[in-house]
Amino acid sequence: MKSILINSCVCLGLFGGSLALAGDKNSMITSAESAGPVAVTSAATIKAPDGTVLRKGTNSYTCYPQQDIIGPMCNEPVWDSLIGAMLNKKSFKSNKFSVSYMLAGEGSAIGVSNSDPYASDPGKSDDWVKEGPHLMIVVPDRSMLEGLSTDPNDPVYVMWKDTPYAHIMVKVAADK
């Protein structure tokens, strides 16, 4: 399923570009581990962009290395479900809080629209963002998003607010 998820990102061009992380297994693992805290990444499953398991983990997280389409990230299963639903333009509703780590930021990826998860051209969007280190949080009740900013200049804001894929973005450091 997760390999389908990553391949779907590529096919849809959702985050722009094609896979580009060149390198061996160790460099992909190092890149994936840069996405989260050691307490998460040391026991996470690490997958290559094509879904190949590079290291089997023992916790609930799966981490992915830097690609042209997106920076390194570590996801709980709810996040992989959200992304899968989004890629297939299906409804999504979380029944719990869930965190995705992107502590290495977007890296060389082009970023995304803050309002439209399907936008692929930064030149045609007035709300394009490319974040530095951040967390993304899905909440089980959309009313929890009310009153939160949608302005990506704020340290905490809602991305994709008017979609089923709305989530809270939490900046944890400035981009390097």
Does residue 155 form part of some domain? yes
138 is in which domain, residue-wise? 2-171
Average pLDDT on 5-23 reads 39
Largest CA distance in the chain: 45
- The neighbour count for residue 106, using CB atoms within 10 Å, is 22
What is the tally of structural domains in the chain? 1
pLDDT reported for residue 115: 95
Note the pLDDT tens digit of each residue in 68-120. 878 999 999 999 999 889 989 999 999 999 999 999 999 889 999 999 999 99
Does residue 13 form part of some domain? yes
Does residue 176 form part of some domain? no
Note the pLDDT tens digit of each residue in 110-122. 999 999 999 999 9
pLDDT reported for residue 50: 87
Average pLDDT, the chain: 87
Q: Which residues pair with 134 in a beta bridge?
A: 102, 171
